[in-house]
Amino acid sequence: MAEVNMEELLNCALCPNICRCECPVLQVSGREAVAPSGKARLAAMLQHKQLNWDEPVFEAISNCLSCRGCTIYCPFTELSLCDELLNTRLAAKASGIRLPVIDPCISNLKNYGSPYGQKGGPSAAGKKGAEVLYFAGCTSQANHPSSIDAARKLLNKAGVSFQMIDEDCCGYPAEVWGDQELARQLAAENRRKIVDSGASILVTNCPECWLTFTDRYPVWEQDLPLEVIDGPTYFLRLLREGQLKPKKSEFEKISYHDPCIWARAAKKTDEPREILSLIPGINVQEPLSYGEQTRCCGGGSMFQLSFPETAEAIAERRLAEFPEDAVIVTACPFCREGLLQEGRRVLELVEILEQSC
Amino acid sequence: MTDQIRAVLQESRVEQVEIDRYAEEVSALIGTEKVSNNHIDILSTCRDYWPVSSIWMLEGAVPALPQLVVWPQTTEEVSQILALAHERRIPVIPYGEGSGALGGVVPLKGGIMIDMKRMNRIRELDHENLLVTVECGLNGALYEEQLNRSGYTGGHFPQSLRCSTVGGWLACRAAGQFSTRYGKIEDMVVAAEAVLADGTVFRERSVPRTATGPRVDHLFIGSEGVLGVITTATLRIWPLPEKRHLASYTFEKLEDGLEAIRMFMRAGARPAVVRLYDAQETGNHFPELGDKRCALILLIEGAAAIVNGEKDVIEECVSARNAEDTGPEHVKHWLETRFNISAASRLLQKGAVLDTIEVTTNWHNAYSTYSAMQEALKDVEGTMLASGHWSHVYPEGAALYITVVGFPGDDKIVYYKNIWQSAMTACLAEGAAISHHHGIGLHRGQWMAEEHGKGLDVLGRIKNALDPHGIMNPGKLGLGEVRKWQK
Ligand SMILES: Cc1cc2nc3c(=O)[nH]c(=O)nc-3n(C[C@H](O)[C@H](O)[C@H](O)COP(=O)(O)OP(=O)(O)OC[C@H]3O[C@@H](n4cnc5c(N)ncnc54)[C@H](O)[C@@H]3O)c2cc1C
Ligand code: SF4
Ligand code: SF4
């Protein structure tokens, strides 16, 4: 288990909450307990044994989307508050404290390999041994399998030899909920299947899967012995190499929502825009905040399951930043789910691209 | 749970049964989701950014704890919360974003923290009259962002812009970095709506100027929560500036810089940003300029023709004091780093005690106040640094901002009290005012009688008339006892 970096945590606990304007959970709740520095103060008190674990403390420390909005203005370049909060939460397991609301999700993970229950989306497909392994992710499978279909069609149109496996959840939700052991088990199972597939490139459309494979698997000693590529970069590559040739799109006015992980962890803000610029007929209008300054949709850290009301309020706040008549396009199943509120049309990048190819 | 936590300055608390009864009744009025007695919420609203709270935090202590937190969403709810508290004689403390620097939100007698952050909407943007009506819990950066979206600026940029509320600005008579052009918050407020301790709501109209008796809404500007809760404010706004001119200069002596500023203010120039640093701060902020001369940075903005005229006036005044032109780059650097506040966290962890002390002087005693306060601070054992700059200027004088850092060794609190006593004594002896924009809070109340003389008594009578049971933010603004701190 990763140690909490006490010096960085205290830098944050002693900060006047400079980034509070960019913390979505604080902005929708108004609660000091979930302000960035507020959470750091609680975490520091836990570390110093001035506070004991109980449900309200765990709930407050869990109120972090890992959206990294706080990093936009944070003067401490070494600090990753969401990671420090995660590391703090992982220590709670020993005391048996957890969010009761996620108990069924944890059982689902154990029983079905997905927090949503029985997997509905496509399972193993394509040719075993094919170079490219497309990893769909449990959230797309459960909520928006149309994006997986679109990705498959695109890969076929581009003539890519690809396969899909009977994947398990990448492990990220389990860790977010404080169960690193379960996360590691899921990772080990996935790793076994991925190695067994014989693929040399793993493409994932879900930013959380991407971050988990690239950042957490090494921590859990489950390094993947193949290249992991994010969906936007991979499909852009196919476009640039002429394997995909888009024609005029039926969509005109589009506004791209940068998912936090692609924008701030992977720094992938140009790739999706380049894809959109290569589709004839599309006019992209930016929302109020975009690129690395994007604002979370409310779906980070599994909030749609853990804190559904907060997630919805954050999504509403984010939606107000988009031109009313634009189709919102994103590249993350959580963002899509969150932003899909009444009166708004929300699609994923792969679907927009597939429709024009 | 919070029982285990040492609350150093807690003067008293309300009986728990009273709080429970209040919680139940107020929940029925405003909704349970807006009321919390959760120990985490209580712990998280118990302090602001008063350095003493940070020192105690490292020791596992807090200044004092509230007993209930409420989050009203409307003026009506604020009124209900206060009326019931008034009836039950329960203290109420308004809470913005806790960036106050003097313990203004510390709940000395426990009671109810009224957290204003869910009142965060812009109610009206009046394009013709250049006014905005805003709820007081709105965060400063989000306020400015919304104005920018419509082509305006609020002109108010405290260094705490991203971590303070509009209500906090009004309550503390705040000043932004661009104050020389746009004014302090009191110059921007056209009208305000407030709720008195007994729940009475009143609002003045946003007409330009009146001769209809004293403006009672303006009484709430600087009231730091002791008179009632400010719920909305109508503020001036400006179209985004057409032109911006950046300039920096250095002077051999601080007095030359002060005189140059006095002269261009006298001539009518109003650059948005005017910052004159002593040699030590010049070296700290702009190492490439060295630490022998004193840097002046200026930002002029507005309509192009006016900016050009101001530039000419300023250039004449600074050259008359033999300024060296050091170009616009230093101002760009300042603009990029002006909200960066990281040194305090690091220094506190290393055992330092630090604070900033801002006072106002007229021109005739500007320099002498600076040297007297600096000397007084350096004389306190343990002080490592006492440096200063002027950053808000007026035709009649300027605000001096002193930064003090010390490594006192054993008793940090004694050292903290000593530096303040020395600084305030020097300030008052020079005839300067004890605060320009941070306000009084809990800590600076000790010098309010000396600052105001009989005036403090008048303020006390107003307070008693508006809040007869003394429920509003007890012990602040130098009104009421703070025995445990002053001991
Ligand atoms: C890093 C840093 C930099 C700063 N820079 C500046 C600066 O450049 N200029 C400046 O002026 N100040 C500055 N400050 C001080 C502070 O930010 C201001 O005093 C600010 O106005 C406080 O706003 P807040 O919302 O955080 O108020 P809080 O700290 O929450 O409250 C301050 C006081 O106002 C009262 N109050 C809050 N809201 C209301 C309301 N709606 N009605 C009635 N009373 C209310 C509280 O009870 C308390 O007494 C700085 C502080 C920090 C930490
Ligand atoms: S994340 Fe950075 S900016 Fe935000 S409160 Fe912590 S230290 Fe301050
Ligand atoms: S990562 Fe996002 S939710 Fe978490 S503290 Fe930072 S801004 Fe808030």
Provide the CB-side half-sphere exposure for B360 (13 A, CA).
Answer: 15
The pLDDT tens digits for A54-75 are 999 999 999 999 999 999 999 9
Distance from CA of B344 to the nearest CA of A (A): 8
CB A64 within 8 A of CB A56: no
Q: Nearest Cβ partner of A30 from B71, B339, B344?
A: B71
Which residues make Cβ contacts (< 8 Å) with residue B470, sequence separation at least 6? B463, B464, B480
Residue A18 has its nearest CB partner, among B57, B58, B162, at B162
Q: Does residue B409 surpass a pLDDT of 70? A: yes
Q: Which pLDDT belongs to residue B225?
A: 98
The answer to whether the CB of B115 is under 6 A from ligand 1 is no
Whether domain B342-452 has CATH 3.10.580.10: no
The separation between CA B129 and the C-alpha centre of its own chain, rounded to angstroms, equals 27
Token code pair at residue B392: 């808000």
CB contact under 8 A, A14 and B345: yes
To which residue do tokens 């040699």 refer? B279
Q: How far apart are CA B66 and CA B85, in angstroms?
A: 14
- Entry pTM: 0.97
**DSSP-derived secondary structure letter, B241:** P
Exposed, middle or buried by CB within 10 Å (0-12, 13-18, 19+), for B215? Answer: middle
From chain A, the residues in CB contact with B115 under 8 A are 30-32
- Whether the CB of B192 sits within 6 Å of ligand 1: no
In B, which residues are within 8 Å of A295 by CB distance?
A: none
- Contact criterion met (CB below 8 Å) for B44 and A13: no
Tell me, what's the pLDDT at A121?
59
Question: What local confidence, expressed as pLDDT, does residue A95 receive?
Answer: 86
- Per DSSP, B199 falls in state S
Determine the pLDDT at residue B481: 85
pLDDT tens per residue, range B365-389: 999 999 999 999 999 999 999 999 9
Res. A101: pLDDT tops 70:
yes
Q: Which long-range contacts (CB under 8 A, 24 or more apart) does A242-246 make?
A: A243/A158, A243/A159, A243/A160, A244/A154, A244/A157, A244/A158, A244/A353, A244/A357, A245/A357, A246/A278, A246/A279, A246/A280, A246/A353, A246/A356, A246/A357
| Topology adopted by domain B243-337 | Alpha-Beta Plaits (3.30.70)
- Rounded to whole angstroms, the Cα distance separating B380 from B406 reads 9
Least Cα distance to A69 among A217, A334, A319, A291 occurs for: A291
Give residues with Cβ within 8 angstroms of A132, minimum separation 6.
A155, A160, A161, A162, A163, A199, A201, A202, A203
Find the mean pLDDT for residues B192-214: 96
Question: Which pLDDT belongs to residue B410?
Answer: 82
Mean pLDDT for the stretch of residues A136-151: 94
- Asked if residues B233 and B166 have their Cβ atoms less than 8 Å apart, the reply is yes
User: Residues of chain B whose C-beta is under 8 A from some C-beta in A?
Assistant: 1, 4-5, 36, 38-41, 43-45, 49, 54, 57-58, 60, 71, 95, 97-99, 115, 117-118, 120, 137, 139-142, 145, 149, 160, 162-163, 339-342, 344-346, 348-349
Domain ranges (residues) in chain A: 6-98, 125-239, 245-356
* Residue nearest ligand 3's atom 6 by CA: A70
Residues in a beta bridge with B277: B389
CA atoms within 13 A on the CB side of B464: 8
Q: What does the domain layout of chain B look like in residue ranges?
A: 2-117, 122-239, 243-337, 342-452
Using the mean position of ligand 2's atoms as its centre, give its distance from the Cα of residue A76 in Å: 7
Residues comprising chain A, all counted:
357
- B97 and A20 within 8 Å at the Cβ level: the answer is yes
Question: Are the CB atoms for A63 and A34 separated by under 8 Å?
Answer: yes
Tell me how far apart the alpha carbons of residues B19 and A265 are, in angstroms, rounded to a whole number: 45
| Distance (Å) from the alpha carbon of A15 to chain B's nearest alpha carbon | 6
Does the beta-carbon distance from B44 to A31 stay under 8 Å?
yes
* Cβ–Cβ below 8 Å for B58 and A10: yes
Strands (E), B186-293: 189-196, 201-203, 228-236, 238-239, 243-251, 273-277
Q: How far is CA B247 from CA A53, B275, B295, B298, B314, in A?
A: 54, 11, 11, 5, 10
% of chain B at pLDDT higher than 90: 97
CATH of A125-239, one of 3.20.20.70, 3.40.50.1860, 3.30.70.870, 2.60.40.420: 3.40.50.1860
The residue nearest atom 6 of ligand 2, judged by CA position, is: A12
B97 CB near ligand 1 (under 6 Å) = yes
* Ligand 2 pocket member A306 (CB < 6 A): no
pLDDT at B19 (0 to 100)? 98
Choose one of B160, B274, B389, B402 to mutate for the ligand 1 pocket test, by most ligand atoms within 8 angstroms of C-beta: B160
Do the beta carbons of residue B154 and residue B235 sit within 8 Å?
yes
Residue B449 neighbours by CB distance under 10 Å: 13
Question: What span, in angstroms and rounded, lies between the C-alpha atoms of B165 and A228?
Answer: 44
Calculate the average pLDDT of chain A: 95
Cα-to-centroid distance, B161 and ligand 3 (Å): 19
CA–CA separation, A150 and A121 (whole Å): 13
> Does the CB atom of residue A75 touch ligand 1 within 6 A?
no
Q: What is the pLDDT of residue B487?
A: 77
Of chain A, the percentage scoring pLDDT greater than 70 comes to 99
pLDDT band per the 50, 70, 90 thresholds, residue A94: confident
**C-alpha of A26 from chain center:** 20
Pick the CATH number of B122-239 from 3.40.30.10, 3.40.50.150, 3.40.50.11540, 3.30.465.10: 3.30.465.10
What residues form DSSP beta bridges with B68? Answer: B112
pLDDT value for B2:
64
The Cα–Cα gap between A65 and A338 comes to 13
3-state secondary structure of B403: strand
In ligand 1, the atom with minimum distance to the C-alpha of B225 is 44
For residue B112, the one-letter residue type is I
Percent of chain A with pLDDT over 90: 93
Q: How far apart are CA A320 and CA A332, in angstroms?
A: 19
Could you tell me which chain A residue has the CA closest to the CA of B3? A51
Domain B2-117 class in CATH:
alpha beta
The CA-atom distances, in angstroms, between A296 and each of A247, A290, B339, B420 are 31, 10, 23, 43
Write down the pLDDT at residue A120: 65
Nearest Cα to Cα of residue B218 among B180, B183, B173, B181: B173
Whole-number pLDDT of residue A122: 60
Q: Which of B147, B138, B45, B188 is nearest to A288 (CA)?
A: B147
Under a CB-based contact definition with an 8 Å cutoff, are residues A216 and A187 in contact? Answer: yes
| Helix %, strand %, coil % of chain B (to 5) | 40, 25, 35
User: Cβ neighbours of residue A276 under 8 Å, at least 6 residues apart?
Assistant: A254, A256, A282, A284, A329, A349, A352
pLDDT band at B4 (very low <50, low <70, confident <90, very high): confident
The kind and range of the H/E element at A348 are strand A346-348
Q: How far does the CA of residue B175 sit from the closest CA of chain A (Å)?
A: 17
* Ligand 2 contact, A85 CB (< 6 A): no
Sign of CA dihedral B186, B192, B198, B200: positive
Interval between CA B160 and ligand 2 midpoint (Å): 13
- Whether the CA torsion A127, A130, A134, A137 is positive or negative: it is positive
Say if residues A183 and A191 touch (Cβ distance below 8 Å).
no
Interface probe, candidates A31, A88, A321, chain B, greatest B C-beta count within 10 A: A31
Give residue ranges of A with CB < 8 Å to any B CB.
Answer: 7, 10-22, 26-27, 30-33, 35, 38, 41-42, 44-45, 48, 50-52, 54, 56-57, 59-60, 73, 75-76, 288
Q: In terms of DSSP bridges, do strands B152-153 and B238-239 run parallel, antiparallel, or are they unpaired?
A: antiparallel
Q: With an 8 Å Cβ cutoff, are A20 and B163 in contact?
A: yes
Ligand 1 centroid distance, CA of B226 (Å): 14
- Provide the token pair at A262: 């692609």
Closest CA to A259 of A216, A209, A217: A209
Give the pLDDT mean for A277-292.
97
pLDDT at residue A128 in the model: 85
Locus of tokens 């009046």: B126
pLDDT digit string, tens, across residues B90-127: 999 999 999 999 999 999 999 999 999 999 999 999 99
Question: How does DSSP classify residue A158?
Answer: T
- In this complex, the residue of B4, B38, B98 whose CB is nearest that of residue A56 is B38
**Reduced to 3 states, what is the DSSP secondary structure of residue A15?**
coil
pLDDT per position as a tens digit, B52-98: 999 999 999 999 999 999 999 999 999 999 999 999 999 999 999 99
Best probe of the A interface among B122, B135, B162, B339, by most A CBs < 10 A, is B162
Residue B3 has pLDDT above 90, yes or no: no
Q: Which of the four pLDDT bands, split at 50, 70 and 90, describes residue A85?
A: very high
Contact A256, A276 (CB under 8 A): yes
Q: Is the pLDDT of residue A1 over 60?
A: no
- B304-355 pLDDT, tens digit each: 999 999 999 999 999 999 999 999 999 999 999 999 999 999 999 999 999 9
pLDDT band per the 50, 70, 90 thresholds, residue B258: very high
B367 lines ligand 1 (CB under 6 A): no
Option in A19, A42, A48 nearest B60 (CB): A48
